Amino acid sequence: MTEPLFMTDPYRKSATARVIALTEEGGIVLDRTIFYPRSGGQPGDSGTLDLGDQRIAIATAVKGEGGAIVLVPAEAVTLPPLEAEVEQRLDWERRYGHMRIHTALHLLSVVLPFPVTGGAIAHDKGRLDFDMPEMPDADERAILEGRLNALVTRDLVVSEEWITEAELDAQPGLVKTMSVQPPRGTGRIRLVRIGDGAGQVDLQPCGGTHVARTSEIGKLTIAKIEKKGRQNRRVAIEFA
Protein backbone atom coordinates (compact mmCIF):
# COMPACT_ATOMS: atom_id res chain seq x y z
CA MET A 1 0.00 0.00 0.00
CA THR A 2 1.18 3.52 -0.83
CA GLU A 3 0.71 6.23 1.78
CA PRO A 4 -1.23 9.04 0.02
CA LEU A 5 0.53 12.18 1.25
CA PHE A 6 -1.78 14.31 -0.92
CA MET A 7 -4.71 13.40 1.32
CA THR A 8 -3.24 15.07 4.39
CA ASP A 9 -1.37 17.88 2.61
CA PRO A 10 -2.52 18.64 -0.96
CA TYR A 11 -0.15 21.64 -1.07
CA ARG A 12 2.97 19.52 -0.65
CA LYS A 13 5.12 19.86 -3.78
CA SER A 14 8.00 17.46 -3.03
CA ALA A 15 8.84 14.50 -0.81
CA THR A 16 11.32 11.66 -0.49
CA ALA A 17 10.11 8.09 -0.77
CA ARG A 18 11.33 4.51 -1.16
CA VAL A 19 10.69 2.28 -4.19
CA ILE A 20 8.72 -0.76 -3.03
CA ALA A 21 7.63 -2.30 -6.36
CA LEU A 22 7.97 -2.11 -10.14
CA THR A 23 5.17 -3.18 -12.45
CA GLU A 24 5.47 -5.31 -15.59
CA GLU A 25 4.32 -2.28 -17.61
CA GLY A 26 7.20 -0.14 -16.32
CA GLY A 27 5.39 1.65 -13.51
CA ILE A 28 6.98 2.65 -10.20
CA VAL A 29 5.35 2.12 -6.80
CA LEU A 30 6.59 4.12 -3.80
CA ASP A 31 5.94 3.63 -0.11
CA ARG A 32 4.41 7.13 -0.01
CA THR A 33 3.58 9.68 -2.67
CA ILE A 34 2.43 13.22 -3.38
CA PHE A 35 1.11 12.14 -6.82
CA TYR A 36 -2.68 11.92 -6.98
CA PRO A 37 -3.80 8.88 -9.05
CA ARG A 38 -6.42 9.36 -11.76
CA SER A 39 -9.86 8.95 -10.20
CA GLY A 40 -13.31 10.49 -10.12
CA GLY A 41 -12.76 12.70 -13.15
CA GLN A 42 -9.54 14.21 -11.77
CA PRO A 43 -6.41 13.42 -13.83
CA GLY A 44 -3.36 11.77 -12.35
CA ASP A 45 -0.53 14.10 -11.39
CA SER A 46 2.64 14.58 -13.42
CA GLY A 47 6.12 15.59 -12.31
CA THR A 48 9.57 14.06 -11.80
CA LEU A 49 11.47 11.48 -9.76
CA ASP A 50 15.14 12.11 -8.99
CA LEU A 51 17.59 9.35 -8.12
CA GLY A 52 21.15 10.64 -7.95
CA ASP A 53 21.93 12.09 -11.38
CA GLN A 54 18.94 10.40 -12.99
CA ARG A 55 15.68 12.28 -13.51
CA ILE A 56 12.57 10.36 -14.55
CA ALA A 57 9.66 12.34 -16.00
CA ILE A 58 6.33 11.05 -14.66
CA ALA A 59 3.42 11.41 -17.08
CA THR A 60 0.62 10.38 -14.74
CA ALA A 61 -0.31 8.30 -11.70
CA VAL A 62 -2.92 5.54 -11.57
CA LYS A 63 -4.39 3.24 -8.97
CA GLY A 64 -2.83 -0.21 -8.70
CA GLU A 65 -3.75 -3.31 -6.77
CA GLY A 66 -3.96 -3.48 -2.99
CA GLY A 67 -3.90 0.27 -2.40
CA ALA A 68 -0.79 0.86 -4.51
CA ILE A 69 -0.36 4.07 -6.49
CA VAL A 70 1.60 3.51 -9.70
CA LEU A 71 3.69 6.32 -11.19
CA VAL A 72 3.88 6.02 -14.98
CA PRO A 73 7.07 7.31 -16.65
CA ALA A 74 6.62 9.55 -19.68
CA GLU A 75 8.94 7.30 -21.72
CA ALA A 76 10.77 3.99 -21.42
CA VAL A 77 13.65 4.46 -18.97
CA THR A 78 15.91 2.47 -16.69
CA LEU A 79 13.79 2.02 -13.59
CA PRO A 80 15.20 2.65 -10.12
CA PRO A 81 16.06 -0.46 -8.08
CA LEU A 82 13.86 -1.69 -5.26
CA GLU A 83 14.49 0.05 -1.92
CA ALA A 84 16.09 3.04 -3.68
CA GLU A 85 15.30 6.43 -2.18
CA VAL A 86 13.94 8.97 -4.66
CA GLU A 87 12.89 12.60 -4.54
CA GLN A 88 9.49 13.24 -6.07
CA ARG A 89 8.39 16.64 -7.35
CA LEU A 90 5.01 17.65 -8.71
CA ASP A 91 4.18 19.67 -11.77
CA TRP A 92 2.65 22.04 -9.25
CA GLU A 93 0.95 24.52 -11.58
CA ARG A 94 -0.96 21.66 -13.23
CA ARG A 95 -1.97 20.10 -9.89
CA TYR A 96 -2.99 23.46 -8.42
CA GLY A 97 -5.19 24.03 -11.47
CA HIS A 98 -6.85 20.68 -10.81
CA MET A 99 -7.46 21.67 -7.18
CA ARG A 100 -9.01 25.02 -8.14
CA ILE A 101 -11.25 23.51 -10.83
CA HIS A 102 -12.30 20.57 -8.62
CA THR A 103 -13.47 22.89 -5.84
CA ALA A 104 -15.16 25.11 -8.44
CA LEU A 105 -17.14 22.11 -9.73
CA HIS A 106 -18.38 21.41 -6.21
CA LEU A 107 -19.64 25.02 -6.16
CA LEU A 108 -21.25 24.52 -9.58
CA SER A 109 -23.23 21.64 -8.07
CA VAL A 110 -24.49 24.11 -5.47
CA VAL A 111 -25.80 26.69 -7.94
CA LEU A 112 -27.24 23.88 -10.09
CA PRO A 113 -28.82 21.52 -7.51
CA PHE A 114 -29.51 18.62 -9.86
CA PRO A 115 -28.18 15.04 -9.86
CA VAL A 116 -24.72 14.84 -11.45
CA THR A 117 -24.33 12.25 -14.22
CA GLY A 118 -20.67 12.80 -15.09
CA GLY A 119 -17.77 15.19 -14.97
CA ALA A 120 -14.18 15.93 -15.96
CA ILE A 121 -11.37 18.10 -14.63
CA ALA A 122 -8.45 19.77 -16.42
CA HIS A 123 -5.92 22.26 -15.11
CA ASP A 124 -7.77 25.24 -16.61
CA LYS A 125 -11.34 24.07 -17.16
CA GLY A 126 -13.88 21.46 -16.12
CA ARG A 127 -17.42 20.31 -16.67
CA LEU A 128 -20.31 18.56 -14.98
CA ASP A 129 -23.22 16.76 -16.62
CA PHE A 130 -26.56 17.23 -14.90
CA ASP A 131 -29.86 15.38 -15.03
CA MET A 132 -31.63 18.68 -15.72
CA PRO A 133 -34.87 18.92 -17.71
CA GLU A 134 -34.53 22.45 -19.12
CA MET A 135 -31.72 24.30 -20.89
CA PRO A 136 -30.96 27.64 -19.18
CA ASP A 137 -31.38 30.63 -21.49
CA ALA A 138 -28.80 33.44 -21.81
CA ASP A 139 -30.22 35.43 -18.89
CA GLU A 140 -30.32 32.37 -16.62
CA ARG A 141 -26.75 31.49 -17.61
CA ALA A 142 -25.57 34.96 -16.59
CA ILE A 143 -27.35 34.61 -13.24
CA LEU A 144 -25.77 31.19 -12.64
CA GLU A 145 -22.32 32.57 -13.44
CA GLY A 146 -22.89 35.44 -11.01
CA ARG A 147 -23.97 33.06 -8.24
CA LEU A 148 -20.95 30.84 -8.88
CA ASN A 149 -18.51 33.73 -8.61
CA ALA A 150 -20.30 35.06 -5.55
CA LEU A 151 -19.55 31.78 -3.76
CA VAL A 152 -15.90 32.02 -4.86
CA THR A 153 -15.48 35.55 -3.51
CA ARG A 154 -17.05 34.65 -0.16
CA ASP A 155 -13.68 33.06 0.67
CA LEU A 156 -15.35 29.99 2.17
CA VAL A 157 -13.14 27.53 4.00
CA VAL A 158 -12.82 24.05 2.48
CA SER A 159 -12.41 21.22 4.99
CA GLU A 160 -12.92 17.49 5.33
CA GLU A 161 -14.30 14.93 7.72
CA TRP A 162 -14.63 11.18 7.71
CA ILE A 163 -17.75 9.11 8.30
CA THR A 164 -18.44 5.39 8.27
CA GLU A 165 -20.02 3.64 5.31
CA ALA A 166 -23.07 2.97 7.50
CA GLU A 167 -23.38 6.69 8.24
CA LEU A 168 -23.29 7.46 4.53
CA ASP A 169 -25.96 4.82 3.87
CA ALA A 170 -28.14 6.62 6.41
CA GLN A 171 -27.65 9.93 4.52
CA PRO A 172 -27.97 9.01 0.81
CA GLY A 173 -28.66 12.65 -0.08
CA LEU A 174 -24.97 13.42 0.43
CA VAL A 175 -24.14 11.61 -2.81
CA LYS A 176 -24.75 13.93 -5.77
CA THR A 177 -23.17 11.78 -8.47
CA MET A 178 -25.31 9.19 -10.20
CA SER A 179 -22.55 7.55 -12.27
CA VAL A 180 -19.71 7.43 -9.73
CA GLN A 181 -20.20 6.18 -6.19
CA PRO A 182 -17.78 6.84 -3.30
CA PRO A 183 -15.09 4.14 -2.98
CA ARG A 184 -15.94 1.52 -0.39
CA GLY A 185 -14.11 -1.27 1.35
CA THR A 186 -12.11 0.57 3.99
CA GLY A 187 -15.11 1.27 6.21
CA ARG A 188 -14.59 5.05 6.01
CA ILE A 189 -15.79 7.70 3.57
CA ARG A 190 -14.19 11.14 3.18
CA LEU A 191 -16.51 14.13 2.99
CA VAL A 192 -15.46 17.53 1.61
CA ARG A 193 -17.23 20.52 3.19
CA ILE A 194 -17.36 24.04 1.76
CA GLY A 195 -18.16 26.70 4.35
CA ASP A 196 -18.63 26.03 8.02
CA GLY A 197 -21.37 26.36 10.60
CA ALA A 198 -24.30 28.41 9.33
CA GLY A 199 -22.17 29.34 6.31
CA GLN A 200 -21.90 25.78 4.99
CA VAL A 201 -22.92 25.56 1.33
CA ASP A 202 -21.86 22.03 0.36
CA LEU A 203 -20.98 18.65 1.85
CA GLN A 204 -20.39 15.58 -0.31
CA PRO A 205 -18.18 12.48 -0.57
CA CYS A 206 -14.98 13.12 -2.50
CA GLY A 207 -11.47 11.66 -2.66
CA GLY A 208 -9.89 14.44 -4.75
CA THR A 209 -7.61 17.35 -3.93
CA HIS A 210 -9.04 20.81 -3.19
CA VAL A 211 -7.97 24.33 -2.36
CA ALA A 212 -8.16 25.49 1.26
CA ARG A 213 -10.43 28.48 0.55
CA THR A 214 -12.75 29.27 -2.35
CA SER A 215 -11.06 32.64 -3.02
CA GLU A 216 -8.07 30.70 -4.40
CA ILE A 217 -10.20 29.59 -7.35
CA GLY A 218 -10.35 33.03 -8.99
CA LYS A 219 -12.98 34.35 -11.37
CA LEU A 220 -14.86 31.78 -13.46
CA THR A 221 -16.93 31.84 -16.60
CA ILE A 222 -19.58 29.39 -17.74
CA ALA A 223 -18.04 28.63 -21.13
CA LYS A 224 -20.77 26.45 -22.58
CA ILE A 225 -24.02 24.66 -21.79
CA GLU A 226 -24.86 21.78 -24.12
CA LYS A 227 -27.73 19.36 -24.50
CA LYS A 228 -26.36 15.81 -24.28
CA GLY A 229 -29.60 13.86 -24.13
CA ARG A 230 -33.26 14.22 -23.31
CA GLN A 231 -32.47 15.51 -19.82
CA ASN A 232 -28.67 15.52 -19.77
CA ARG A 233 -27.08 18.99 -19.78
CA ARG A 234 -23.31 19.53 -19.91
CA VAL A 235 -22.10 22.68 -18.17
CA ALA A 236 -18.47 23.69 -18.81
CA ILE A 237 -16.56 26.24 -16.75
CA GLU A 238 -13.13 27.79 -17.16
CA PHE A 239 -10.95 30.45 -15.59
CA ALA A 240 -11.85 33.96 -16.74
For residue 82, CA distances in Å to 3, 26, 28, 212 come to: 17, 13, 10, 36
Query: Residue 79: which pLDDT band, with cuts at 50, 70 and 90?
Result: very high
Amino acid 124: pLDDT? 97
Closest CA to 127 of 115, 135, 119, 139: 119
For range 49-68, the mean pLDDT: 96
Q: How would DSSP label each residue in 147-182?
A: HHHHHHHTT-BEEEEEEEHHHHHT-GGG--BSS-PP
- In this prediction, residue 103 carries a pLDDT of 98
Options 1.20.140.10, 3.30.1370.160, 3.30.980.10, 3.40.50.300; which CATH number does 95-239 get?
Answer: 3.30.980.10
pLDDT tens sequence across 167-200: 888 888 888 886 666 666 677 899 999 999 999 9
- The yes-or-no verdict on residue 234 having pLDDT over 70 is yes
Tell me what the mean pLDDT of segment 67-81 comes to.
96
Measured CA to CA in angstroms, residue 165 lies from 159, 171, 172, 205 at distances of 19, 10, 11, 11
| φ and ψ of 198, to 5 deg | -70, -15
pTM above 0.75, yes or no: yes
What mean pLDDT is reported for the chain? 94
pLDDT for the residue numbered 185: 63
pLDDT of res. 180: 65
Give CA–CA dist 70/51, Å, rounded. 17
Cα(67)–Cα(29) distance, integer angstroms: 10
Which conformational region is residue 26 in: left (phi greater than 0), alpha (psi within -120 to 50 degrees), or beta?
A: left
Spell out the domain ranges in the chain: 3-90, 95-239
- pLDDT class for 48, splitting at 50, 70, 90? very high
The dihedral built from the CA positions of residue 129, 223, 97 and 46, taken in this order, carries a sign that is: positive
Q: Read off the pLDDT of each residue in 40-52 and give the average, rounded to a whole number.
A: 96
> What is the fold, at CATH topology level, of the domain defined by 3-90?
Elongation Factor Tu (Ef-tu); domain 3 (2.40.30)
Q: What angle do CA 181, 182, 183 make, to 5 degrees?
A: 115
Distance CA 71, CA 44 (A): 9
